[in-house]
Every structure is written in structure tokens, then in C-alpha cells.
Amino acid sequence: MAPRRFMINSGAIRDGFASCDGELYNHIARVLRLGNGDPVQLADEKGFVHSGTIDQVGREWLTVKIESSAPSEESESGAPRITICQALPKGDKTELILQKGTELGAHDFWLFGGRRSVARVRDDQRDSKLERWNRVTSEAARQSGRSSIPGVLWCPGAAEAAREAGHDLRLLLWEGEREQSLKGLLSTCDRPASLIVAIGPEGGFDPAEVELFTRQGFLPVSLGSRILRAETASIAILAIMQYIWGEM
Ligand code: SAH
């Protein structure tokens, strides 16, 4: 089995040793019970992966002796950067989407207030929600051994999200699309460097939102005749994209 990989700040690595404390220490030493001599990989924010073995384990910190460092395969894999542009769903569905999407390699998440979103984010709640959501992606990245943490951004509505989308390929998963299937569309596309996928809330997209997105170059596609829940749609599209263009 490949060594487990953890995120580390490059500042914690000096003279061939990395020192880990706080949550990282807790995760390695207490949760996973790794110890002296166990191999680990430490990925830093600059896109490097440092391979080494645990050297010393203290009560609140441990050190890793670094044996080699190289650019991470994630920064070199050539898979497209995938943005999930998701209308805010109900309750804890957001966290599910962030967690599973991080495991499946999403590059970032843009959450927006959809016209039919039942849930709302008031201005005074925004910062604490973003903090919480970013914690979810950071935790999921660590758990899944990813070397980069997907960012979570908030957009007030579809108009703002659509306007910001400069991705090479823009898809709108639309339950109302009858002609264009995802499969049909992808068979005509080359691998893009970046891709954004817009997904509606439980109530689906409002026609005005479909218009907004399509005017900004989003291509409406169908995932078939069955209606998927918003969280299923986002998990499914990521798995499909990773299979076709990623390293799955
Ligand atoms: N209430 C809507 C369904 C919304 S499903 C209805 O009954 O029609 C939530 C979101 O998941 C949709 O807005 C869409 O983005 C995506 N989705 C679900 N099923 C889909 C399908 N078969 N094709 C394309 N997108 C789909």
C-alpha cells in the first residue's frame, strides 16, 4: 500500500526534517496510530510532495525525516480543473457535495443562491458558513490524500456565477434538456484545461437562470431521463469526468 499523504505547510520543513503538530499530529499519531519508521508523504502548498519516514513521536509533535521531494502528480496529471457550480441545496447536502466532490478531485466549488434554492445564506452568515465549508474540503482533502485543498466560493446568484466563468468548457446540467446528452456532447470535445459544471437546487433551474448560463456559453446537457438529486448529479458528473479525462 502506498504511504499515506498529508498536507503540510512548507514552512514546517527545515534541514531535511518536517515537524508536525496540532491537528496533523493528532491525525497521524492518534487517529492512524502511525509511528517510528512508518513511511509518509507530505504535500505542501507549493505543489511538492515530500516522501519520508516518521523519525520521532513526542506527546504533541512528531518529526518526519524527508528522503525525497518531487512535484505532485496532481499538479502534473493533466486532468482538467473542474469547478462545481452548485445552487445552494437544502440542509447538510452542501457538506455532502463538498466532501464527496473533494474525494473525487474537484478543483473548487462555487456555491450560489439559486432562484429555487430553499436554503438561504444571509450576509451576516456568509463568513462563518464559508469557514465551515472550507474546513469540510480541507478535512476531506486530508482524508483522501489529496495534495491540494479545493477552495469554496460564494456567489449571490446565477448571474454572478455565470459571469465569472471563464472556463474552457462550461456545462449546465439541465433536467429540462431533451436532445443533448452528456455522452453525445463529450464525444465531440477535446480535453479542456478547465471545466465548470452548473447544477441546480432541489427545485431545479428557473428558466431565467438557464438563459443566463447559456448566454455565457454554458452548454445544457442531460444526464438521462431519470431525475437525480442535486448531490447525486454533482457526484456523478465528477466521477464521469475523472474517468474520461482524469486518472481514474
Ligand atoms: N425538481 C427538478 C429536479 C431538480 S434535480 C425536477 O423535478 O425537474 C437538481 C439538479 O440536478 C438539476 O437542476 C440538474 O442540475 C441536475 N439534474 C438532475 N437530474 C438531471 C438529469 N437527468 N439531467 C441533467 N441534470 C440533472
Q: For 84-95, how does the pLDDT look when each residue is reduced to its tens digit (9 = 90+)?
A: 999 999 989 999
Q: Cβ < 6 Å from ligand 1: which residues?
A: 173-175, 199-200, 203-205, 222-224, 226-228, 230, 233
> In this predicted structure, what is the pLDDT of residue 149?
85
Cα-to-centroid distance, 146 and ligand 1 (Å): 29
Show the domains of the chain with their CATH numbers.
Answer: 4-71 (2.40.240.20), 81-245 (3.40.1280.10)
247 vs 220, residue with greater confidence: 220
pLDDT digits (tens, 9 = 90+) for 196-218: 999 999 999 999 999 999 999 99
**What does the alpha-carbon distance between residue 65 and residue 59 come to, in Å, rounded to a whole number?**
18
> In this predicted structure, what is the pLDDT of residue 76?
59
Cell 518526519 -> residue: 64
Contact predicate 167/83, CB 8 Å: yes
Q: CA gyration radius for the chain?
A: 20
Going by alpha carbons, the residue nearest to atom 9 of ligand 1 is 230
pLDDT confidence band for 45 (50 / 70 / 90):
low
- Nearest to 173, CA basis, from 131, 126, 234: 234
* Sheet hosting strand 219-221, strand order edge to edge: 151-155, 108-112, 81-87, 194-199, 169-173, 219-221
Q: What integer is the mean pLDDT of 235-239?
A: 97
Q: Does pLDDT of 6 surpass 90?
A: no
pLDDT digits (tens, 9 = 90+) for 157-175: 999 999 889 889 999 999 9
pLDDT digits (tens, 9 = 90+) for 77-128: 677 889 999 999 998 999 999 999 999 999 999 999 999 999 988 888 888 9
Going by alpha carbons, the residue nearest to atom 18 of ligand 1 is 228
In percent, the amount of the chain with pLDDT more than 70 equals 95
* Sheet hosting strand 17-21, strand order edge to edge: 4-7, 39-43, 48-57, 61-71, 17-21, 13-14
**What does the alpha-carbon distance between residue 222 and residue 200 come to, in Å, rounded to a whole number?**
13
> In this predicted structure, what is the pLDDT of residue 1?
62
Look over the chain and give the mean of its residue pLDDT values, rounded to a whole number: 91
Going by alpha carbons, the residue nearest to atom 4 of ligand 1 is 204
Which atom of ligand 1 lies nearest, measured to the CA of 176? Answer: 8
> In this predicted structure, what is the pLDDT of residue 183?
94
What cell was used for 28?
Answer: 497521524
**What does the alpha-carbon distance between residue 189 and residue 207 come to, in Å, rounded to a whole number?**
26
Cα-to-centroid distance, 230 and ligand 1 (Å): 7
